[in-house]
Structure 1
Amino acid sequence: MKEILCKLLVIGAGPGGYVCAIRAGQLGVDTVLVEAGKLGGTCLNVGCIPSKALIHAADEFCAIRGMQQARSPIGIRVESCSIDLAATVAWKNGIVGRLNSGVAALLQKASVKIVHGRAAFRDGKTVAVETETGVQIIRAEAIVIATGSEPVSLPDLPFGGRVITSTDALSLTNLPERLVIVGGGYIGLELGTAFAKLGSKVIVVEATPQILPLYDSELVRPVSRRLEQLGVRVMTGAKAKGLSAAGDALLIETSAGREEELPADRILATVGRRPRTEGSGLQELDLDRAGPYLRIDDQCRTSMRGIYAIGDITGEPMLAHRAMAQGEMVAEIVAGRKRGWDKRCIPAICFTDPEIVTAGLSPAEARAQGYEVRIGQFPFSANGRAMTIQAEDGFVRIVARADNNLVIGAQAVGNGVSELSTAFALAIEMGARLEDIAGTIHAHPTRGEAFQEAVFKALGHALHI
């Protein structure tokens, strides 16, 4: 098979990789993209997109079932309600398929050559790809490693049988009657909430004292209340020990030190993710590491000339939009443009019920960095739009420096607050001060008004509380 020569080789077609390849192609860079699986990577195929589709279906079903049970305060009644999970999964797969096709079309439009197969380094300029028709050698002037991450298993709870990954959970066609989730982070709680709404009896086992341990307790509290309303049992300070002797239950050690068996049809392990490097030939390269991750500089360059790394393989935060921004930047650097990583914040969203969004620094993080801060908080219980859609739980919070009112953080918890992430990030990225947001007219009635109201509170003249 004839060798392929190119200026840029991108390994991995997840959000970071395909964005990098598209942008490079747009800039006239001769680009090859290698992918072992489907275009779009984890996020599009078995992560962000399908999980949000399942969450939406669960929300719709839960709302209709509530109407059937005559609990709707707005007067809607439903005679009967059921869900065909196989049909839901088929609908979800249809969305994924449409997006796969869209990515392929964009790559073709940008004149990117796609090679399907698993890539392994031979040296810093050469990669061998195992394709269906044999080994394809690719030589490139610059290489971008964008191989992503994969779920971590516990030593005493390997994947297989009843123990499933988030990928497996998104493909279930039969609803598990009893679902035990190991790990109370955002992946476990997003999926756990969805399955609880669909009708599963859900138990969450979290080793730390709080679910969603990366978020402050004030943001987590409304999520905990909703889990309780849904009948989800949350066990914090509890550790998974493995399967029971019969293999039909999870054996745990509770916070009190007692052993307990939790019967389960499925056990979903969501204890973290690790960089995907197996079979990549990275051992052939002398690349500096930061723990298990590849070390990069502010241009995503590794310790070897001409080799870049983006996305999950470079460590936290493992977010698709971070990888996309890195990919776009690297493509422009390879094309000869002057770029560097100068982002002030990367917003993060937890798609639980209610949702959580964070951007920049929390109050505690700001104080830890030596800032004196002004904090403003506005509850959705005082927001007209939230009342009309029965979503009054939660709040918006703003964090600003006390000396000059520069906005350095924004957080929210509530129904649909993920859509506020852009406004939060834009305010921080543009160097907005409290007065800038206060002086911007916010449309009424919207949940976005809570952003301005929180700023009014920080400035000392709250209007609607």
Structure 2
Amino acid sequence: MSDMECDLVVLGAGPGGYSAAFRAADLGLRVVLVERYSTLGGVCLNVGCIPSKALLHVAAVAEGTAALASHGFAFGRPQVDLGKLRNWRDKVVGKLTGGLAGMARSRKVDVVRGVGVFVDAYHLEVALTAGDRAAEVAEKRTVCFKHCIIAVGSRAVRLPFLPDDPRIVSSTGALALREVPARMLVIGGGIVGLEMATIYSALGARIDVVEALDGLMQGPDRDLVKIWEKRNTHRFDRIMLRTKAISATAKPDGIWVSFAGDAAPTEPERYDLVLESMGRVPNGDRIGADKAGVVLSDKGFIPVDRQMRTNVPHIFAVGDVADTPMLAHKAVHQAHVAAEVAAGRESFFDTRAIPSVAYTDPELAWVGLTEDDAMKQNIAISVGRFPWAASGRAIVNGCDDGVTKLIFGKESGRLVGGGIVGPHAGDMLGEIVLAIEMGADAIDIGKTVHPHPTLGETIGMAAEVYEGICTDLPPQRNKSEVL
């Protein structure tokens, strides 16, 4: 017995979920989209990617205006109205979630608000909510489906020793922006934690970061991260590498945290706000996957093939719950593949590279093979680096410490990776991703006419550096001198 029947049910309405639902509806399938929150968009749109970028934009503008004093434009100290800032953030999110709701209606996608779990391989039971995230469960509804796409995402890792206190928050709590702390601790030196540190630093907080590994922001090459670190020393009182937070106590005057490791303070430190940013884990263990016969990995991921099928052929998984990297843009492309396969099309997720961006100040963006990866895997590469100190646009913009870096396979000569550190690095990275996907070499990139003066032309110049023909740098006798 079922209350609803459909060709496809999509469990989760984040970037992967709503993209799958909309694509499937466009292909003529009758679609039911199940979402536990009151709006579509998932973590990314509601309490993640979009609100964080809204606040990062404000932080960049505020700090940018302060830097103009040396150019002859001096402004008074900014007056921060947190209420207005929160309202503006919510307005941005509301505009996008409202748009998604309208697109769901126009495609005749049935949106069911509630928490879904499998009953068996063809039925999903949804505990309905009243449309509010905090609402009590009102009733249950059973959905019968021919195909299912699991897009339930991930959740923040919780450290067991941290007390339950409103001054200890995840990224979601940090984005609530209840107040500006005098002292803030970021546990975990990854992208999310450092983005939050950028926002709160711009608002006036002093920041400490503790990271168990030997460097911040694992992923990009260390030479790019060092440029970011140099530009951001003013934000931090302490960067404690090879160190862990081991205990915390909530007291009336703050959260007192003890540390252990190479850079650990000898005594507990007091903080007004503690951000727990230790990564995320997939939600595959929360949907009754075993009832449908869907296999989970030891880490909670749902293994899939290139068509995003699970071990149960008519059930698919996309996004954070399927595999890493846990990125919205990856989820969207996987979602399109899964929807198309469910509709009977021959479609595959067959990508050479997935880009990553840290939206800090400056931005740090990278894709494909890094120098560090090549060294570990014993892969022969050649590198072309263009320093922004030779870019007229970078000098004008006050960001001449940036770098554009391209990595080519030693034997093939084709582009296999790249990284950029500097303003708008994320916007520029798309060209490098496309070049990798198209199998471009240095001549393809360097001979492409880039507009001048732009930051984007540094991509072409990095290719020229690799070729040894760049006229915007001192002469190079041959390629080997620029490696």
Shift of 1:404: 3.0
- Residue pairs, 1:453-464, within 5 angstroms: 453-464=461-472
**Does the Cα contact within 8 Å between 1:399 and 1:408 map onto a contact in 2?**
yes
**Does the Cα contact within 8 Å between 1:254 and 1:260 map onto a contact in 2?**
no
Shift of 1:161: 2.7
Q: Which residue of 2 aligns with 1:435?
A: 443
The TM-score, its normalising length taken from structure 2, stands at 0.92
Change (3 A) 1:285 1:158: farther
Is 1:446 the counterpart of 2:451? The answer is no
Q: Which residue of 2 aligns with 1:28?
A: 28
Q: Which residue of 2 aligns with 1:371?
A: 379
Looking at structure 1, the residues matched to 165 and 13 of structure 2 have their Cα atoms a distance apart, in angstroms, of: 27
**Does the Cα contact within 8 Å between 2:163 and 2:248 map onto a contact in 1?**
no
Q: Which residue of 2 aligns with 1:76?
A: 73
Report SS of the residue matched to 1:117: strand
Shift of 1:76: 0.2
Shift of 1:61: 2.1
- Residue pairs, 1:99-178, within 5 angstroms: 99-132=96-129, 133-178=138-183
Shift of 1:32: 0.7
Change (3 A) 1:352 1:232: farther
Structure 1, unpaired ranges of 5+: none
Is 1:61 the counterpart of 2:69? The answer is no
- Of residues 289, 304, 307, the one that matches 1:282 is 289
Looking at structure 2, the residues matched to 297 and 98 of structure 1 have their Cα atoms a distance apart, in angstroms, of: 35
The TM-score, its normalising length taken from structure 1, stands at 0.95
Q: Which residue of 1 aligns with 2:363?
A: 355
- Residue pairs, 1:373-388, within 5 angstroms: 373-388=381-396
Further displaced range: 280-289 or 81-90: 280-289
- Of residues 330, 354, 366, the one that matches 1:346 is 354
Looking at structure 1, the residues matched to 71 and 424 of structure 2 have their Cα atoms a distance apart, in angstroms, of: 20
Shift of 1:160: 3.3
Shift of 1:285: 3.2
**Does the Cα contact within 8 Å between 1:54 and 1:194 map onto a contact in 2?**
yes
**Does the Cα contact within 8 Å between 1:65 and 1:81 map onto a contact in 2?**
no
Is 1:201 the counterpart of 2:206? The answer is yes
Report SS of the residue matched to 1:289: coil
CA RMSD of aligned residues (A): 1.7
**Does the Cα contact within 8 Å between 1:205 and 1:234 map onto a contact in 2?**
yes
Looking at structure 1, the residues matched to 411 and 359 of structure 2 have their Cα atoms a distance apart, in angstroms, of: 34
Further displaced range: 412-421 or 285-294: 285-294
Looking at structure 2, the residues matched to 367 and 189 of structure 1 have their Cα atoms a distance apart, in angstroms, of: 27
The one-letter amino acid paired with 1:35 is E
Change (3 A) 1:463 1:16: same
Change (3 A) 1:159 1:211: farther
Looking at structure 1, the residues matched to 212 and 126 of structure 2 have their Cα atoms a distance apart, in angstroms, of: 41
Looking at structure 2, the residues matched to 364 and 2 of structure 1 have their Cα atoms a distance apart, in angstroms, of: 53
Is 1:273 the counterpart of 2:280? The answer is yes
The one-letter amino acid paired with 1:243 is A
**Does the Cα contact within 8 Å between 1:149 and 1:276 map onto a contact in 2?**
yes
**Does the Cα contact within 8 Å between 1:64 and 1:81 map onto a contact in 2?**
no
Report SS of the residue matched to 1:170: helix
Shift of 1:370: 4.7
Looking at structure 2, the residues matched to 100 and 229 of structure 1 have their Cα atoms a distance apart, in angstroms, of: 36
**Does the Cα contact within 8 Å between 1:178 and 1:264 map onto a contact in 2?**
yes
Deviations 1:61-80 (A, max 9, x none): 2233455xxxx221101134
Is 1:10 the counterpart of 2:10? The answer is yes
Shift of 1:159: 5.0
Looking at structure 2, the residues matched to 238 and 338 of structure 1 have their Cα atoms a distance apart, in angstroms, of: 49
- Of residues 84, 87, 90, the one that matches 1:87 is 84
Looking at structure 1, the residues matched to 411 and 279 of structure 2 have their Cα atoms a distance apart, in angstroms, of: 39
Further displaced range: 395-404 or 309-318: 395-404
- Of residues 252, 265, 271, the one that matches 2:259 is 252
Structure 2, unpaired ranges of 5+: 130-137, 474-483
Change (3 A) 1:358 1:98: same
